[in-house]
Homo-oligomer: A and B are copies of this chain.
Amino acid sequence: MIATIIGTGLIGGSLAISLKEKGAASHIIGVDQQESHLQRAKELGIIDEGASLEEAMKRSDLIVLAIPVDAVLKVLPILMDKVQPGQVIMDVGSTKKNILQLVAGHPNRGRFVAAHPMAGTEYSGPDAAVRNLFTNKTMVLCDVKNSDEDALEMVENMVDQLQMRTVYMNAEEHDLHTAYVSHISHITSFALALTVLKKEKEQGRIFELASGGFESTVRLAKSSPDMWVPIFKHNRSNVLDVLEEHIHQLQQMKTLLEEEDYDTFYKLIQKSNKIRKILK
């Protein structure tokens, strides 16, 4: 199988490495607006060749969109118009509703499979690509009833070869649940970094004391705004909903501290400890 990866950054680059290593693809064509990324991906051996979108589409069995969701919304319609029978288009974007609304009713809708691998790091670009990013992680496939059987099968086989679990959801469910387990974590980290950077400016010396716990909660704040602003934009109402709840929880803790109600604070922490059951 010849695969084209549009966007040779963290996700696209890691996918390219895994597709090759696990034998799911024999040849990888990279497409990237940033010439320097394409060059670097070639140097790193992540892709076999760089090509224009036109050229790559002519020769590929599978075309993967691994670019920020706002860019997916621009490029996907072009691909959908050009896709040939037997070819499959797949995206790996972090929001799904807007993307699927965009292609709903397109005559070639069946050739598209909407996917979201629940894996990533806070880094970006070809140098951030790592092997085995996807191993034992979850791949969400959305609204699969609207994909052609053979297209879905090609993607499902690929997911198996990547040693990933598959979860099926509709786009609404997907956007809701990712707001809870992924998008709000990023908002929190960005806000925490801003908080502490501001305090540091006032006080100095803070970071001498930073240890593992701090690093854990703020590491996502290193994430790229190019990726995340489009996610927040395209999942705005779900993110606002969970953000409101999060602010409410923090305000409740603030009130308990102000009122020195440590018994209730203790009970709240005990309640939050239930997260142990979910995490390893």
Binding site for B on A (CB under 8 A): 118-122, 137-138, 140, 167, 169, 173, 176-178, 180-182, 184-200, 203, 205-225, 228-229, 232-233, 236, 239-240, 242-247, 249-251, 253-254, 257-258, 260, 262, 265-266, 268-276, 278-280
Contacts and interface: CB of A to CB of B under 8 A. Distances in A.
A243 B253 contact: yes
A103 B179 CA distance: 49
Q: Which of A186, A199, A251 lies at the interface centre, i.e. has the most chain B CB atoms within 10 A of its CB?
A: A199
Q: Which of A196, A233, A275, A280 lies at the interface centre, i.e. has the most chain B CB atoms within 10 A of its CB?
A: A275
Given A184-B196, A240-B258, A272 B190 contact: yes
A137 B213 CA distance: 12
B250 A209 contact: no
A177 B208 CA distance: 9
13 contacts: A121-B212, A177-B205, A181-B206, A188-B188, A190-B268, A191-B246, A194-B272, A197-B272, A221-B275, A222-B279, A229-B262, A244-B254, A247-B254
Contacts of A233: 260, 262
A196 B182 CA distance: 10
A155 to B, nearest CB: 18
B213 A253 contact: no
Q: Which of A194, A210, A251 lies at the interface centre, i.e. has the most chain B CB atoms within 10 A of its CB?
A: A194
A236 B262 CA distance: 11
A196 B238 CA distance: 13
A128 B102 CA distance: 51
Contacts of A169: 205
A176 B205 CA distance: 10
A273 to B, nearest CB: 6
B247 A251 contact: yes
Given A180-B196, A208-B177, A229-B265, A187 B250 contact: yes
Contact of A206 (B137, B180, B185, B196): B180
